[in-house]
């Protein structure tokens, strides 16, 4: 497995200096064609994958808690997703390591999206990355809380699906309504204003809570 590009380049610096490429010249991440195909996903493929997994999670959770308790756990999972989304985006996806190998990792995970933010096949996290990350969350919850944690994980994954589809919409759909424009404007300020702010996408509250909200398109 050989990385295609960006050896030793910090992706935030590269994005600030370079215009986005045309979609006819999609950023290539791996030389291996089979691996490269796993780095893209369509909305239909994304929804089909996660609808099946969400149904499976619900099936495994059924009977592990009373309905009121399940509702509370689902709500906790949704809140947990919002915090996880913010933390991952801020501290992992925008991590600026010194190691060239780690810089490549960050570019593959998120930097390529900043280099070409409107590539429709990379506005959603592909299952090859999404399943292991969310699987690690499930394993942690299961070890800590047992089978009833599946309800919390159900809420967590529901939040994840909503988040990623909202992210796709911010880049690919007009979103003319008041609420839609609020989400889109917030995220576009992250891309075109200051990358060190507006980390939240589906739960804007966390940018207010942690004082990372950006209200201008001017780069600071």
What are 202-218's pLDDT values in tens digits?
A: 999 999 999 999 987 66
Three-class DSSP labels, 78-140:
HHHHHHHHHHHHHHHHCCCCCCHHHHHHHHHHHHHHHHCCCCCCCCCCCHHHHHHHHHHHHHH
Residues of the chain with pLDDT > 90, as a percent, come to: 81
**pLDDT for res 25:** 67
**pLDDT for res 5:** 44
What are residue 22's phi and psi, to 5 degrees? Answer: -75, 155
| Model pTM score | 0.88
**pLDDT for res 148:** 87
* Higher-confidence position of 146 and 11: 146
**pLDDT for res 195:** 85
What are 98-112's pLDDT values in tens digits?
A: 999 999 999 999 999
Q: Is the pLDDT of residue 14 over 80?
A: no
Per the prediction, the chain carries an average pLDDT of 89
Q: Would you state the structure tokens that stand for residue 206, as one six-digit string? A: 């966390």
Give me the half-sphere count of Cα atoms (radius 13 Å) on the Cβ side of residue 89. 29
pLDDT-derived band at 24, boundaries 50, 70, 90: low
Closest to 83 measured CA to CA, from 215, 211, 199: 199
What are 140-199's pLDDT values in tens digits?
A: 999 999 998 999 999 999 999 999 999 999 999 999 899 999 999 999 999 988 888 999
pLDDT-derived band at 32, boundaries 50, 70, 90: very high
**pLDDT for res 2:** 39
**pLDDT for res 20:** 53
Three-class DSSP labels, 11-63:
HHHHHHHCCCCCHHHCCCCECCHHHHHCCCCCHHHHHHHHHHHHHHHHHHHCC
Distance CA 34, CA 39 (A): 9
pLDDT (mean) for 20-43? 85
| Domain spans, the chain | 11-209
């Amino acid at each position: 497995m050989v990385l295609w590009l960006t050896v030793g380049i910090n992706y935030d610096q590269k994005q600030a200096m370079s215009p986005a490429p045309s979609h006819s010249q999609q950023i290539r991440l791996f030389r291996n064609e089979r691996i490269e195909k796993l780095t893209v996903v369509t909305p239909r493929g994304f929804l089909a994958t996660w609808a099946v997994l969400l149904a499976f999670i619900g099936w495994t959770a059924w009977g592990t808690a009373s309905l009121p308790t399940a509702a509370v756990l689902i709500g906790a999972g949704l809140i947990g997703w919002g915090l996880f989304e913010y933390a991952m985006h801020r501290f992992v996806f925008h991590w600026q390591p010194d190691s060239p190998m780690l810089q490549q990792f960050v570019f593959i995970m998120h930097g390529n999206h900043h280099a070409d933010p409107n590539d429709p096949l990379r506005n959603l996290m592909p299952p090859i990355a999404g399943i292991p990350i969310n699987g690690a969350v499930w394993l942690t919850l299961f070890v800590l809380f047992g089978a009833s944690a599946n309800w919390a994980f159900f809420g967590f994954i529901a939040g994840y699906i909503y988040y990623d589809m909202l992210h796709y919409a911010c880049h690919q759909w007009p979103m003319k309504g008041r609420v839609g424009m609020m989400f889109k404007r917030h995220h576009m300020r992250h891309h075109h204003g200051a990358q060190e702010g507006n980390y939240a996408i589906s739960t804007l509250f966390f940018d207010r809570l942690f004082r990372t909200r950006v209200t201008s398109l001017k780069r600071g």
